[in-house]
């Protein structure tokens, strides 16, 4: 319990035990004690626990099936409905898994839960509500008894225990005995050894280990690092302090929301500008494409232009317009007085038809022979006299 600040309800008043400082509780009626506890909790130096009064809690051990264990949160009240006198809607049930299919079960009233919430409202983040009997030290084969102020706190098992008036303790200890499973040792914490010992059945007194001490002394020997049975379950489970967080961070959230909104507006304005610029660029591209290719659909101007240029340049499989014109131009240049009148190129057939004007038929044949000598095939399709010269139509392509 080095880091546990334990809060108890004693005689209707709250008190707390500061770890390692004193064996006596500090009453929370004292403003100085309240401030000390609040300071410790605000700095998160201590983990606050509430010791639930054992008189208001019924503890039991319950064995269930594996299938029942999966849905125990919802089915537990109905499983115990026959064992409680009150309406289950007025009761609060909490459980913790033990070994195998066993459960530690705690039952109390919703009215008591609301009352304790009201008392502890001034001390936030008390997220462990543990029944007093389960806070006593315990080992297998032992009973633990704490006697204080006319009452007895008893733990008889891992999940079993009770609180009772001192005078009624002998009867309940006798009822707690199970044939074949009686305690090997009974640890008593009290102030008067003789009077405390008389409360135990005669045949068990030789198993008593009496120790002088109060609730605090017993806690020092408890292993509270293991998660005990916590009553804050179901509708009473700790919630995130969303309201407190909102109050602390709403100014920051408002600034962030404004900044985010401005960022969205600026982004949208940029988007509209880029959209207009993109439309203008697309129109300019299409206009440029139409200058080169007035007809045909425009889907992707860049790709279409690239394909047209590739066709004109030629490739490894075809000569292309540029290649044809280069060789045909060299042939024409070698025959002065001959000129090209018109050209019609077909990229599919990779050939062109051209009309040339020469001085005579012999010049036409010389041009055709020069073209054939350049590795091409020139076929004369027609010829006719034109003034003082001759006009001829040639079909030129790669030699197949």
Question: How far is the C-alpha of 183 from the C-alpha of 20, rounded, in Å?
Answer: 31
Question: How far is the C-alpha of 368 from the C-alpha of 331, rounded, in Å?
Answer: 8
* pLDDT for 379 beyond 80: yes
Asked if 231 contacts 129 with a C-beta cutoff of 8 angstroms, the reply is yes
* pLDDT for 22 beyond 70: no
Tell me the pLDDT tens digit for each residue of 136-146.
999 989 999 99
Question: How far is the C-alpha of 145 from the C-alpha of 137, rounded, in Å?
Answer: 9
Residues in contact with 371: Cβ distance below 8 Å, sequence separation at least 6, in sequence order? 327, 328, 331, 378, 394, 396
Tell me the pLDDT tens digit for each residue of 283-333.
888 788 777 777 767 767 777 776 666 665 554 444 567 778 888 888 888
Determine how β-strand 185-190 pairs with β-strand 208-212: parallel
- Predicted TM-score of the model (pTM): 0.60
**In terms of pLDDT, which residue wins out, 66 or 264?**
264
Tell me the pLDDT tens digit for each residue of 240-285.
666 667 777 888 888 999 999 999 999 999 999 999 998 888 888 8
Q: Is 276 exposed, middle or buried (0-12, 13-18, 19+ CB in 10 A)?
A: exposed
Tell me the pLDDT tens digit for each residue of 76-128.
888 888 888 889 999 999 999 888 888 999 999 999 999 999 999 888 788 89
Share of the chain above pLDDT 70, in %: 91
């Amino acid at each position: 319990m080095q880091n546990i600040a334990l809060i108890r309800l004693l005689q209707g008043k709250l008190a707390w035990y500061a770890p390692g400082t004193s064996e006596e509780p500090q009453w929370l009626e004292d403003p100085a004690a309240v401030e000390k506890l609040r300071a410790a909790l605000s700095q998160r130096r201590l983990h606050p626990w509430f010791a639930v009064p054992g008189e208001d809690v019924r503890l039991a051990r319950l064995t269930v099936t594996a299938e029942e264990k999966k849905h125990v949160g919802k089915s537990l009240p109905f499983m115990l409905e026959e064992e409680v006198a009150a309406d289950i809607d007025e009761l609060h049930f909490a459980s913790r898994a033990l070994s195998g299919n066993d459960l530690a079960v705690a039952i109390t009233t919703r009215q008591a839960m609301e009352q304790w919430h009201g008392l502890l409202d001034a001390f936030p983040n008390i997220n462990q509500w543990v029944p007093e009997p389960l806070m006593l030290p315990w080992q297998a084969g032992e009973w633990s008894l704490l006697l204080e102020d006319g009452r007895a706190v008893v733990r008889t098992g891992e999940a079993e225990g009770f609180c009772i008036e001192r005078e009624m303790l002998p009867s309940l200890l006798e009822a707690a005995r199970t044939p074949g499973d009686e305690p090997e040792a009974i640890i008593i914490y009290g102030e008067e050894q003789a009077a405390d010992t008389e409360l135990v059945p005669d045949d068990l007194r030789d198993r008593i280990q009496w120790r002088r001490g109060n609730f605090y002394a017993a806690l020092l020997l408890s292993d509270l690092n293991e998660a005990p049975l916590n009553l804050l379950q179901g509708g009473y489970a700790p919630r995130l302090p969303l309201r407190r967080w909102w109050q602390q961070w709403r100014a920051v959230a408002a600034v962030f929301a404004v900044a985010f909104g401005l960022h969205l507006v600026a982004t949208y304005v940029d988007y509209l500008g880029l959209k207009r610029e993109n439309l203008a660029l697309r129109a300019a591209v299409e206009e440029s494409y139409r200058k080169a290719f007035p007809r045909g659909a425009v889907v992707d101007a860049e790709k279409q232009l690239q394909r047209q240029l590739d066709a004109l340049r030629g490739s490894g499989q075809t000569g292309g317009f540029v290649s044809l014109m280069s060789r045909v131009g060299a042939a024409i240049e070698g025959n002065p007085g001959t000129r090209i009148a018109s050209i019609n190129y077909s990229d599919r057939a990779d050939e062109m038809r051209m009309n040339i004007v020469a001085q005579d038929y012999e010049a036409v044949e010389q041009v055709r022979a020069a073209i054939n000598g350049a590795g091409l095939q020139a076929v004369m399709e027609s010829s006719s006299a034109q003034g003082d010269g001759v006009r001829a139509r040639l079909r030129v392509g790669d030699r197949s």
